[in-house]
Structure 1
Amino acid sequence: MLHQHTISQLQALRLEGMVLGLQEQFTQRASDDLSFEERLGLLVDRELTYRENKKQARLLKSAKLKVSTACLEDVDYRPGRGLDKKQVASFASCDWIRGAQSILLTGPAGVGKTWLASALGLQACRSGFSALNMRVPRIFEELRVAHADGTFTRKLQSIAKVDLLILDDWGLHPLNQEERSDLLEIMDDRVGTKSTIITSQLPVEHWHEYLNDPTLADAILDRIVHQSHKIKLKGESMRKQEVENTAETVKKQKAS
């Protein structure tokens, strides 16, 4: 009865981690030999771990990462991909996010730009930063709706709060004047305060021409390119390689 009362009190205080820890101590007799201070310390550690895991799960859900299984530990550094192992390893600390720096990932289709962006987004969530992955066409579609229903300012504010914004598929479609203006608003909110990852098949040196408005292009790129790490991925399509490897595996299985 006393145990249940304590659990009810902890639940009322929303200390769910301590509830789980206490229940574990009740069922694991090894804890009987521990002192009060040791058992209390274990409960506090359990609560902290519970909160950290819950926060990370919430951040990952909100991030909407394109490749949920991607992580920096699994980065493929095979020769010819254009990846510097030391540079990528340095991103794991997320100091680049603390310093409001950005990463520009460019390269042909299928070389792993979105995968690497997702891995960096996962690492950000692991470190307690909020992230949001959006395809560029989708974000402009949502902003267009926001203009129409009067929620544009609120939408911009919600994007501005995100520690790491991942803009995927930059440069696939031409932008109109309203989209260019919206893009400037997004980047202006983030410069010097938040980080952005941009993935694009279009080389950075062609972005000014892509934006197709000298004045706005200068303003937008001034907020994007400076204080950014640039990674040019190379090589054949990894998706094509995966298909070929799968086909080869199936062929070997049939032969055996």
Structure 2
Amino acid sequence: MKDLAAQLATTMKQRHWNERYQKLLTQALKDPEVQQFLQDHQLQNNQNAVLAGSAAIYEFVQAKKTLTLATGYQPRLLWVNQAIHVSYEPDAAELRRQQKVVFQQKFKTLAMASDVRQADLDDYARGVNERQASYMAAVRFVIDYAKAPKTFLPGLYLSGPFGVGKTYLLSAIAKELVQQQVEVLLVHFPTLAVQMKNAINDNSVLTKIDQIKAVPILMLDDIGADALSSWVRDEVLGVILQYRLQEKLPTFFSSNFSMKDLEAHLTVNQRGDQEPIKAARIMERIRFLAREVVVSGPDRRFN
């Protein structure tokens, strides 16, 4: 390497290179990473290649010292098409930041607690035998979906009493899917119902429905928690479910009601009228889109 530096110095003098630049390049060539790069690519005796790549070599060494050219990125020398180049790759901190951004972009929520993205599937069932069945159903879905994401796979309808972890399990499933680069939308359904009513005022109902209905994985949390108007049931929920049925898009639900009890709940509208046929239509779509899994175990809120 000393011979190459000396040879280059002679060559640069012959070509009347600026003395200061000669010194800078000579110093840059002494950098251990530069020396290793030249050795790895067998360039120790290739004066022409080193001279042609001198600007890249100098930039590489300077960038390592200052790291101001591209904050969050680290320089790297490359040998491409018989020439030396410098590129910038994200450092560990930048990679974590990018991964977090992608995670948040793919794990979308509506009116959910901020900590839902922290849910962990293994933590859900740890030490609680009653949760093993729902845990295994969740694991099977994640594995099967990863194998054939283009093949329709029914989601899960998680039913059970307050506090047993239905929302947590939905969140944990969502996290696993997002880590496989699948886009998920987790929605608190009672809040969605209110927002859709408000959307009537600015004529944004159809826009909001379009934003929800086509997401690859949709999760409707706490369906049945509040009495629904006929309009929300038929023109919002019904439209979303019909689209997902036609497109065969996996859909998840959580509810304090079993499927049977949810049908009875949906039968009665806000005026107290019985509408069994309309409720049956909704349930027909839900039963196509998801398989019921009973969630049991101790109250997660106090354990």
TM above 0.5, yes or no, is: yes
CA contact (8 A) 2:158 2:255 kept: yes
Counterparts of 1:24 and 1:206 in 2: how far apart (Å)? 61
Q: SS where residue 297 of structure 2 aligns?
A: coil
The one-letter amino acid of 1:120's match is I
- Name the one with the larger helix percent: 1
CA contact (8 A) 1:146 1:152 kept: yes
Q: Which residue of 2 aligns with 1:210?
A: 265
What residue ranges of structure 1 are gaps of 5+ in the alignment? 8-18, 27-34, 243-256
Assess, with a 3 A threshold, how the Cα gap between structure 1 residues 106 and 82 changes in structure 2: closer, same or farther: farther
CA contact (8 A) 1:94 1:124 kept: no
> Does 2:298 correspond to 1:229?
no
Assess, with a 3 A threshold, how the Cα gap between structure 1 residues 116 and 6 changes in structure 2: closer, same or farther: farther
Give the alignment's TM-score, normalised by structure 2.
0.61
> Structure 1 residues 83-92 or 230-239, which shifts more?
83-92
Larger Rg: 2
The equivalent position to 1:87 in structure 2, one of 132, 137, 142, is: 137
Q: Which residue of 2 aligns with 1:248?
A: none
Deviation sequence 1:187-231 (CA, Å, 0-9, x none): 111114322211111111111111012121121111111242221
CA contact (8 A) 2:76 2:89 kept: no
- Identical amino acids, percent of aligned pairs: 21
The one-letter amino acid of 2:254's match is T
Deviation (angstroms), 1:114: 0.4
Deviation sequence 1:140-180 (CA, Å, 0-9, x none): 11111222211111111111221122211111111111111
Counterparts of 2:59 and 2:169 in 1: how far apart (Å)? 46
Give the alignment's TM-score, normalised by structure 1.
0.71
Equivalent positions of 1:13-162 (< 5 A) are: 23-25=74-76, 36=79, 54-60=101-107, 62-63=108-109, 66=113, 67-77=116-126, 78-81=128-131, 83=133, 85-93=135-143, 95=145, 98=150, 99-162=152-215
Structure scoring higher RCO (CA < 8 A, sep ≥ 6) equals 1
Counterparts of 1:215 and 1:180 in 2: how far apart (Å)? 12
Deviation (angstroms), 1:139: 0.7
Deviation (angstroms), 1:88: 2.8
The equivalent position to 2:227 in structure 1, one of 155, 160, 174, is: 174
> Structure 1 residues 116-125 or 85-94, which shifts more?
85-94
Q: Which residue of 1 aligns with 2:253?
A: 198
Q: Which residue of 2 aligns with 1:246?
A: none
Assess, with a 3 A threshold, how the Cα gap between structure 1 residues 101 and 6 changes in structure 2: closer, same or farther: farther
Deviation (angstroms), 1:132: 1.6
Q: SS where residue 104 of structure 1 aligns?
A: strand
The one-letter amino acid of 1:214's match is P
CA contact (8 A) 1:102 1:224 kept: no
Q: SS where residue 118 of structure 2 aligns?
A: coil
Assess, with a 3 A threshold, how the Cα gap between structure 1 residues 180 and 86 changes in structure 2: closer, same or farther: closer
What residue ranges of structure 2 are gaps of 5+ in the alignment? 1-53, 61-69, 268-274
Assess, with a 3 A threshold, how the Cα gap between structure 1 residues 5 and 130 changes in structure 2: closer, same or farther: farther
